[in-house]
Amino acid sequence: MDEFRAIIEPFRIHSVEPIRMSDRAEREAHLREAGLNLFALHSQDVLVDLLTDSGTGAMSSEQWAGLQRGDESYAGSPSWFRFLAAVRELFDFPHVIPTHQGRAAEKILFTVLGAPGRVIPNNTHFDTTRANVEFSGAHAADLPVAESRTPSLEHPFKGNMDVAALATLLEARAADVPVVFVTVTNNSGGGQPVSLENLRAVRAVCDRHGVPLFLDACRFAENAWFIREREPGQAGRDVADIVREMASLADGMTMSAKKDGLANIGGWLAVRDDALAEQCRNLLILTEGFPTYGGLAGRDLDAIAQGLREVVDHDYLHYRIRSTAYLGDALHAAGVPVIRPIGGHAVYIDAGALLPQIPALQYPGQALAYELYATGGVRGCEIGSVMFGRRPDGSEVPAAVELVRLAIPRRTYTQSHIDYVIEVVLAVAARAEELRGLRIVEQAPALRHFTARFESLA
C-alpha cells in the first residue's frame, strides 16, 4: 500500500500544451460534423483525449535531447546502432527490422506467413493485427482464457491464452499454423497481463508442434510490472530482467514503439530465423525503407532508444499502473461496470452492462462514447460491435463485449485531469437509462470504426 493517497507523478512539467475549453452545444455541433464518429473530431476540440495511449505520451527531456542527436545518414547511422543496442538490451533477437509503427511490422510478417487456409492464433488479436492476418487470407483465431469473458471477474492474469484450446488447435492443424501470437498486455481483452507461467506453457505447446511463438509486445513493460506485482516468485525482480525472460520464450516479436517505446512514432519486427528475416527485409525495402532506418528518421530511432530505457524504470511503472487503477477503481467504487481488475494502459467501461436498453447492433459503446464527449469533452474509444462486428463477407455479428476504452496517454495528464474524467463518467452513468443507440449510415469494408458515420436513434 502507498503511504499517501495522492499520486505523485515522477516528473515535473517542462513545457505545456493548452487545452481549449468548450460547452455542450459546441461539442454537439462538432459531433454532428464528425458523423458522430469520435475519430473524425479535431483533437483541439477535445478536453481530455483518452482515444488512445498510442503515440500520445509526453517525451522526456532526454528524449528531446535524443532528437537533437539524431543522425539522418541513409545507411548505418549512429542513431540506428543506439536503437539496436536499446532494443537488444531487452529483446535479444538476432534480427531487428525497424518499421514506422506496429502495423507495418504486422503487414510485413503476415505477407510472408499468412495465406488462405492458414490460421494465426492469438490470445486476442488487436484490430490492426486481425485486419492484417485477414488481408493475407489467413484466419485470425482468438484463444483467450475463459476468465477473460466475464468483465467483472477478478483474476490476476486475464490476458492469458487458453493453453488447452491452443493444444487442441495445433493437434488438429499444426501444419496450417505458421506462428502463434501472444499479445502482452492483451489490449482488446481489457489491457490484461499475461503471466510468465502462461507464456512458458504456450511455448511448450508450440515446441511440441514445431510452431514458432511471437509476442505482440506493444505494452511489454506494463505486462512485466504486473508479473512483478502479481506472479508468485516474481516480487522484487527487476522489470528489465522479466522482459528479457519474456523475450527469451519467443522466436520473434512485433512492436509498436508508440506504446512502451514512449515515442510518438515507430516500431519494429524482430525474429530469430535467418531465412524469415531475409524475406521480411526484402519487403521492408519495398515499402518502409533501408534496413537501418525502416520507416523512421534517425531522430525517431534515438527517441525510441531513450524511451526503452525510461519505460522499465520502476518509479515510472509504479506511477503508471497506479494512475490507471486510480481512474478504474473510482468508477468501480461508484458502481460503474468496468473490466476488472484494472489493466495497464486503459480503463474499459462495460457499456453493454451500463446500457442494457441498447441492443449490441445499435452500438451501446458508441452511444456511451458519444455521451462522454458531449457531456465533458472526454474522448474514449468504442471497442465492441462497431470495431469488431463486421465480418469479411460484410455480415454483422455482435462482438463478445461492448466496451468503451478510456486509454491513458503516458506521462501526459495529471491526477486532476483524471478527477475531472471521473466526474464526467459518473454524471453520464447517473442518467444512463436516457441514452439511445445509433445506426451506421456509411462504412468501409475493413476497420470501419475509423471512418464510419452514424445517426442517432434517439
Contact string 58-97 vs ligand F0G (x = CB under 6 A): ----------------------------------------
Nearest approach in angstroms of CB 216 to ligand F0G is 5
Q: By Cβ distance, which residue is nearest to ligand F0G?
A: 102
- Indicate the residue among 102 and 437 with the shorter CB distance to ligand F0G: 102
Cα-based distances in Å from 254 to 42, 110, 211, 220, 283: 30, 11, 17, 11, 15
Sequence letter at residue 403: L
CB within 8 Å of 126: residues ≥ 6 apart = 183, 187, 188, 216
Nearest approach in angstroms of CB 236 to ligand F0G is 28
8 A C-beta contact, residue 37 and residue 451: yes
Residues 97-156 that bind ligand F0G (CB under 6 A): 101-103, 126, 128-129
Nearest approach in angstroms of CB 25 to ligand F0G is 29
Cis status, amide bond into 185, omega within 30 of 0 = yes
8 A C-beta contact, residue 415 and residue 326: yes
Unique residue bearing C-alpha cell 543496442: 85
187 binds ligand F0G, rule: CB under 6 A:
yes
> What is the rounded distance in angstroms from the CA atom of residue 450 to the CA atom of residue 443?
9
Among 27, 45, 54, 198, binds ligand F0G (CB under 6 A): 54
| H helices present in 34-162, as ranges | 61-69, 78-90, 102-113, 127-135
Among 52, 132, 198, 306, binds ligand F0G (CB under 6 A): 52
Contact string 407-436 vs ligand F0G (x = CB under 6 A): x-----------------------------
The residue among 193, 188, 197 whose CA lies nearest residue 158 is 193
404 binds ligand F0G, rule: CB under 6 A:
no
- Indicate the residue among 381 and 421 with the shorter CB distance to ligand F0G: 381
Nearest approach in angstroms of CB 15 to ligand F0G is 24
CB within 8 Å of 67: residues ≥ 6 apart = 299, 302, 303
Helical pair 220-230 and 239-248, crossing angle rounded to 10 deg: 110
- The site that binds ligand F0G (CB under 6 A) totals a number of residues, namely 16
256 binds ligand F0G, rule: CB under 6 A:
yes
Nearest approach in angstroms of CB 52 to ligand F0G is 3
Residues 194-223 that bind ligand F0G (CB under 6 A): 216, 218
* Cell representation of residue 334: 461508484
List residues binding ligand F0G (CB under 6 A): 52, 54, 101-103, 126, 128-129, 183, 187, 216, 218, 256, 258, 267, 407
